[in-house]
A and B are shown apart, each in its own frame.
Chain A
Amino acid sequence: MQIAAAPARTTLRQMLLRAWHEHFGNWVERRIPPARNIVLDHRNIFIIPNKQGLGFLLVLGLMFIGAVNYEASLAFALVFLLLGVFILSIFYTFRNLAGLHLSAVPGASVFAGEKAEVIVILTRHGVRRYENVQVSFKGSRKASCDLLEATEQRMVLYVPTSQRGYFDPGRLVVETVFPLGICRAWSLLDLQSRTLVYPCPVECDLDWILANQQHSGNTTIVRGNDDFHGLRDYRTGDSLKHVAWKILARGQGMYTKEYSSNIDEKIWLRWDMFADLGTEARLARLCWCVIKLDTAGIDFGLELPGLRLSPAKGQVHYVQALQALALFGLSAGLPP
């Protein structure tokens, strides 16, 4: 009986914990609705004495016992003075967040597994100053900043990603224990910063794949990509990797270097190239191919179920292709 009961209890605890988290999450969702710009005030700041605060109270308790036992009036006064400090610290800590404006800007897109960059902007309006305010996302480190002379601070946070699609870093934790460190005021904000996360590229044998493409027929395209062919005028959309920088530096204008391999070759990356793999695995390999071909400066087209990108090259095309891969099959992944 007892043996059976033990795991059951754990499950119950876990269940309760999960239920609580869910309940709390919902409550926070209702209490602090997502917004691009949020001002902290009494509606969205939580405040509670922290561990250090309990330690402070413990010390006060000991001092009180000392005061009682030695019947020392001034010791009573000291205890009450520090009790007053404790109570005041609640308001001071609250004040160190209240009135702060927060917004977030998503950083550049990353590949799944890399850390997404989110820039949090803290702004103060008015005369109140803020010290040692910390911001963090779940999984990121805490970044702290002061708003004393400055009216605006930008904090860059790096949040680990795991899946492709639009990445939601979760709620931003803004917190402070300033000035006394015995109370913690915090808020959980959804600043609607969504970063696009591309699939995590997985290496595959591009040559072999291309060789097996019946209708393409080209087999040696990738190999020859180092043979310099000539220069042509730069056109918008050409990969920056192929700009003839030396010529540009001499001030003779902007040219694109052409290689033997990237002339006239048109490669199609197709969904059915990896017929025996699952969706994510296919996307990962396609992603790797896209990076590879872009680096090589080769035109490529992308064909996914329900989506077709004509062969092209350049930054815009590259991003389009990665976006298509990132959002493939995700209806909920659309940016709000």
Chain B
Amino acid sequence: MSKSKAATPVISGENFQIPRIAFAWLLVSVVAVIIVHVSRLPIWLTAMCALCVLGRVLIWQGRMSHPGNRIKLAVVVLMVVLIIIQFGRNVLSTDATVGVLLIGITLKLLEMHRKRDVLLVIYLCYFTLVAEFIYSQSIPIAFYTVVTVVIITSALISLNQSPQAQRPWRTAKLAAIILAQSVPLMAACFLLFPRISPLWSMPLQSKNGVTGLSDSMSPGDIGELARSAEVAFRVKFSGEAPDYSELYWRALTLDDFNGHQWRRGLTLDMPQFLGSNPADTRPWFRDMEYKGRAVQYNVILEPTYENWIYTLALPQIHDERMLMGRDLQVNSIRRITQRYTYDARSTLDYRADADDEGLSQRRARRLPSDSNQRSFEFSTQLRKTVPSDEAYVQAVLNHYRTEKFYYTLSPRKLGNNPVDEFLFDTREGFCEHYASSFTFLMRAAGIPARVVTGYMGGEFNPYDSTLTVRQYDAHAWSEVWIAGKGWLRVDPTAAVAPQRISQGSNIALKQEKEFMNNEIFSLMRYRDSRLLNDLRLQLEMMDYAWNRFVLNYNQDMQFQLFNSLFGAVTRLKIVLSVLGFMLVVTLFVVLVIFRKSAQSKLPPATRYYLDFCDYLARLGFPRRIGESPLQYLERMSRQHPQWRPEIEPITRDFIHLAYKTNKPDPFLLQSFQRRVRRVRLLS
């Protein structure tokens, strides 16, 4: 350590010059913050951000001057106009807000004159990280954000370093240490800080790029979903899971057909509010019969930007966020723009709406009479040959089974009479073709029937026994109403492709070119390699745990945890525990920061030598105060000549390492340490 003689004081003047390292870290943080949003941003916005960053670099290099007020005003007006054009009525949506935020940050880069301006950019970068989590909270994004936080904090630290500081990595290291030390505090707050329900509902962002079911079904719609392996939802059963072929995840009930497309018609019956007490129920809801064993499960739903919820029929849910219609479709009160979790129990054997033939049954018989004439004739003919409605259902299914129908993802296009063309000409189609034509044939014969869309099956992960349902599991089937039995599920696809029902689309569609066409680079493509598939399943297990325990950590889980820790939950207890926990953690961290370890200050060679002296002291021969290593060696050699061959090399090595070299050779140091550690002296 040297004493610096010529230290020139650095005077902090009015002309603020952003330190070099701070500038570098600042640019990196801005870029890091923008990059994750690029795929969602309009191209012009990304280009504008890039231009601003580039401009800032040029200003820094002195190749460009700061833009004048007129240029700045023009750019701001241009941006406002472009954003209004781009987002139109959605100008208050999250997408637009993020765009404005990013543009704001990059424009601010161009006019950083004071420390305050730089600070504003840094704070905005922190703030923008929250926007990232609105879109995705996956494990990779979490990691990425951690890195970004370190970068932004480095920028903040380097802004407060003196201008002489020249080592960016040292700054980053300090930032990482501070952040690492605040992790326990974060964990404490995360677990115990009371969660508040949203203060106001945020404007919804556009549904761009979300794959999933839509509120109507026409031929080809569901086949389109089979291209994607994106997760739709994940299920964990408590207790035994039902048979694979029973996993019909019901979403939408479509009972209005216009000759081409199925939609959900208006329901006049009031929906049942699932959070209300049992006394306050609709008659149709009260009359439902649940038979047999119920299945318990928890669902984590990926955002769909729609209202419907996936359940096995027939669900019994007590959840104040949900409604159930008379057509058994369960809807959330709010649109699902976030990952959404709910507990449900379903009774697979049930009787719904069995006795009362009313409006919904009448509607489920309606067909447009001006198209698909051949199918009308076919159904009339077939109905005459069988005694009952139920026999007719079987007869139609038999027709699918015996005639040459193909289950394929890439059927030929259908024209104006899609049901006719499918049933009698092309005879190739995906589940929606079968469900649609089957329901048509039922209605044509006067049997109430409707199309149901949702998902069928899923993939069981052997590592945590969760069921992952993906977009390619999307499915459509039918429900027919039989007097006295109510609405019954009939899946015509099962008649054509039994594999689809027993083993899933994964197996049934393996050979199809279109299947999972969107997943060229994903691990899902390599399910045939055992090793890669195992890896994928383990990653998915981690993902599930992440979703279940981190992302869905909510008020309920918090209350449970609190209950198990402190008993009954009171406000005072919450406040005290939060404060107490923070205090304890803070004290711990402070101890870590301020710890003074006398040993670690010594050079390693000295430390090892002192270890050796300790060893000798334990044998009963401590080094005297003020005794030099050589004197000690002489004294020990006189008392125990047989130890000299051991002690002498250690002493010589130590003297060499500690006093004769400036920077000890790490290899020598290591062998010295090993020698000290292995020494055994026998008396």
Residues of A within 8 A of B185 (CB): 80-81, 83-84, 87-88
Cα-based distance from A91 to B126 in the complex (angstroms): 22
Cα-based distance from A70 to B2 in the complex (angstroms): 55
B586 at the interface (CB under 8 A from A): yes
B71 at the interface (CB under 8 A from A): no
Pair A155/B7 contact, Cβ less than 8 Å? yes
Question: Provided the pairs A151-B3, A179-B174, A180-B157 are in contact, do residues A78 and B130 lie with their beta carbons within 8 angstroms?
Answer: yes
User: From residue 186 to 215 of chain B, which have CB atoms closer than 8 A to chain A?
Assistant: 186, 189-190, 193, 195-202
Question: Provided the pairs A63-B130, A132-B160, A145-B9 are in contact, do residues A81 and B182 lie with their beta carbons within 8 angstroms?
Answer: yes
Pair A70/B338 contact, Cβ less than 8 Å? yes
Pair B178/A73 contact, Cβ less than 8 Å? no
Binds B, one of A51-59, A252-260, A268-276: A51-59
Chain B's nearest CB lies how many Å from the CB of A121?
10
Chain B's nearest CB lies how many Å from the CB of A335?
26
Q: Taking CB as reference atom, which chain A residue is nearest B162?
A: A132
Query: Could you mark each residue 100-132 of chain B with 1 if its beta carbon is under 8 Å from any beta carbon of chain A, else 0?
Result: 000000000000000000010001001101110
Residues of A within 8 A of B161 (CB): 131-132, 178-179
Cα-based distance from A62 to B196 in the complex (angstroms): 14
A234 at the interface (CB under 8 A from B): no
Query: Could you mark each residue 626-647 of chain B with 1 if its beta carbon is under 8 Å from any beta carbon of chain A, else 0?
Result: 0000000000000000000000
Question: Provided the pairs A91-B593, A127-B601 are in contact, do residues A73 and B550 lie with their beta carbons within 8 angstroms?
Answer: yes
Chain B's nearest CB lies how many Å from the CB of A129?
10
Interface Cβ pair total, 8 Å cutoff: 188
Query: Could you mark each residue 131-160 of chain A with 1 if its beta carbon is under 8 Å from any beta carbon of chain B, else 0?
Result: 110100000011111100111111111000
Pair A150/B182 contact, Cβ less than 8 Å? no
Query: Could you mark each residue 1-17 of chain B with 1 if its beta carbon is under 8 Å from any beta carbon of chain A, else 0?
Result: 11110010111110000
Cα-based distance from A79 to B129 in the complex (angstroms): 10
B659 at the interface (CB under 8 A from A): no
Residues of B within 8 A of A156 (CB): 9
Cα-based distance from A88 to B200 in the complex (angstroms): 32
A316 at the interface (CB under 8 A from B): no
Pair B182/A87 contact, Cβ less than 8 Å? yes
Pair A150/B137 contact, Cβ less than 8 Å? no
B553 at the interface (CB under 8 A from A): yes
Chain A's nearest CB lies how many Å from the CB of B178?
6
Residues of A within 8 A of B201 (CB): 69
Residues of A within 8 A of B13 (CB): 141
Residues of B within 8 A of A282 (CB): none
Pair A84/B182 contact, Cβ less than 8 Å? yes
Pair A65/B126 contact, Cβ less than 8 Å? no
Residues of B within 8 A of A69 (CB): 198-202
Q: Taking CB as reference atom, which chain A residue is nearest B157?
A: A179
Residues of A within 8 A of B650 (CB): none
Residues of B within 8 A of A66 (CB): 127, 130-131, 134
Pair A78/B123 contact, Cβ less than 8 Å? no
Cα-based distance from A75 to B551 in the complex (angstroms): 10
Q: Taking CB as reference atom, which chain B residue is nearest A72?
A: B133
Query: Could you mark each residue 145-157 of chain B with 1 if its beta carbon is under 8 Å from any beta carbon of chain A, else 0?
Result: 1000100010011
Residues of A within 8 A of B123 (CB): 55-56, 59
Cα-based distance from A92 to B127 in the complex (angstroms): 23
Residues of A within 8 A of B586 (CB): 87
A195 at the interface (CB under 8 A from B): no
A245 at the interface (CB under 8 A from B): no
B499 at the interface (CB under 8 A from A): no
A68 at the interface (CB under 8 A from B): yes
Query: Could you mark each residue 321-353 of chain B with 1 if its beta carbon is under 8 Å from any beta carbon of chain A, else 0?
Result: 000000000000000001000000000000000
B296 at the interface (CB under 8 A from A): no
How many residues of chain B get a CB closer than 8 Å to chain A's CBs?
A: 66
Cα-based distance from A50 to B525 in the complex (angstroms): 55
A177 at the interface (CB under 8 A from B): yes
A249 at the interface (CB under 8 A from B): no
Cα-based distance from A145 to B189 in the complex (angstroms): 37
A95 at the interface (CB under 8 A from B): yes
Question: Provided the pairs A59-B126, A77-B190, A80-B193 are in contact, do residues A150 and B149 lie with their beta carbons within 8 angstroms?
Answer: no
Cα-based distance from A69 to B554 in the complex (angstroms): 13
Question: Provided the pairs A74-B133, A146-B164 are in contact, do residues A88 and B178 lie with their beta carbons within 8 angstroms?
Answer: yes
Most buried by A among B10, B160, B161: B160
A103 at the interface (CB under 8 A from B): no
Pair A80/B157 contact, Cβ less than 8 Å? no
A85 at the interface (CB under 8 A from B): yes
Chain A's nearest CB lies how many Å from the CB of B194?
11
Pair B179/A72 contact, Cβ less than 8 Å? no
B80 at the interface (CB under 8 A from A): no
Pair B178/A179 contact, Cβ less than 8 Å? yes
B594 at the interface (CB under 8 A from A): yes
B93 at the interface (CB under 8 A from A): no
Cα-based distance from A85 to B183 in the complex (angstroms): 9
Most buried by A among B174, B182, B201: B182
Cα-based distance from A179 to B178 in the complex (angstroms): 10
Query: Could you mark each residue 86-98 of chain A with 1 if its beta carbon is under 8 Å from any beta carbon of chain B, else 0?
Result: 0111011001000
Query: Could you mark each residue 577-608 of chain B with 1 if its beta carbon is under 8 Å from any beta carbon of chain A, else 0?
Result: 00000100010011001100000010000000
Cα-based distance from A85 to B129 in the complex (angstroms): 16
Pair B162/A141 contact, Cβ less than 8 Å? no
Pair A141/B12 contact, Cβ less than 8 Å? yes
Among B119, B131, B554, the residue within 8 A (CB) of A52 is: B119
Residues of A within 8 A of B582 (CB): 87
Pair A152/B3 contact, Cβ less than 8 Å? yes
Residues of A within 8 A of B183 (CB): 81, 84
Residues of A within 8 A of B554 (CB): 71
B552 at the interface (CB under 8 A from A): yes
Pair A68/B196 contact, Cβ less than 8 Å? yes
Query: Could you mark each residue 181-192 of chain A with 1 if its beta carbon is under 8 Å from any beta carbon of chain B, else 0?
Result: 100000000000
Cα-based distance from A81 to B142 in the complex (angstroms): 13
Pair B338/A141 contact, Cβ less than 8 Å? no
Among B119, B127, B200, the residue within 8 A (CB) of A63 is: B127
Cα-based distance from A70 to B334 in the complex (angstroms): 13
Chain A's nearest CB lies how many Å from the CB of B128?
10
Residues of A within 8 A of B126 (CB): 59, 63, 82
Chain A's nearest CB lies how many Å from the CB of B166?
11
Chain A's nearest CB lies how many Å from the CB of B591?
10
Among A62, A87, A95, the residue within 8 A (CB) of B594 is: A95
Question: Provided the pairs A59-B126, A156-B9 are in contact, do residues A150 and B3 lie with their beta carbons within 8 angstroms?
Answer: yes
B657 at the interface (CB under 8 A from A): no
Residues of B within 8 A of A (CB): 1-4, 7, 9-13, 119, 123, 126-127, 129-131, 133-134, 137, 141-142, 145, 149, 153, 156-157, 159-162, 164-165, 174, 178-179, 181-186, 189-190, 193, 195-202, 338, 550-554, 582, 586, 589-590, 593-594, 601
Q: List 21 A-B contacts (CB under 8 A).
A: A52-B119, A59-B127, A68-B199, A69-B202, A70-B338, A72-B137, A73-B552, A77-B190, A81-B185, A85-B179, A88-B185, A143-B9, A143-B11, A146-B162, A149-B2, A150-B7, A152-B3, A155-B9, A157-B9, A180-B153, A181-B159
Beyond known contacts A63-B127, A142-B12: 17 more, CB 8 A cutoff: A59-B126, A68-B195, A70-B130, A71-B338, A74-B145, A74-B551, A75-B130, A78-B145, A79-B130, A84-B181, A145-B9, A150-B2, A177-B160, A178-B160, A179-B161, A179-B178, A180-B153
